[in-house]
Amino acid sequence: MDPIGLALENFDAVGAWRAKDAGLPVDAVGKMFDGTKLDGPVSLRQAILSHSDAFIQTFTENLLAYALGRVVDYRDEPMVRSIERNAAAENNRFSSYVLGIVKSMPFQMRRADGGAASL
């Protein structure tokens, strides 16, 4: 199972806190890849902070992949590192990641899918 998802299990679909689901107590306990126990949002925050480099790299790669509409591969890693460096200089603001991606060559040079039907 996804330990990050389990750590946030107390939140329902609209973000309200719940202690029970279908009358049963919510089990929000999981374990990270390194054995760190997760049992809710507080422990999840601590785990992310202790692995901030990996979190930032994964976040940047996934945001870039979403923006490009394709999987990020080894050829994109210099751009990922550049976006990370520029965002770090801006105190890792979300907007600095978005702007870094929008200004990146892979984003600006991407091509539209030729198979999409016109309306």
pLDDT in tens, 25-70: 999 898 888 888 999 999 999 998 999 999 999 999 999 999 999 9
The H or E element containing residue 38 is strand 37-38
What's the mean pLDDT in 62-81?
95
Q: Are strands 24-25 and 37-38 parallel, antiparallel or unpaired?
A: unpaired
pLDDT given at position 87: 97
Structure token digits, residue 26: 């919510």
What's the mean pLDDT in 69-91?
96
Whether the predicted pLDDT of 119 surpasses 50: no
Whether the predicted pLDDT of 82 surpasses 50: yes
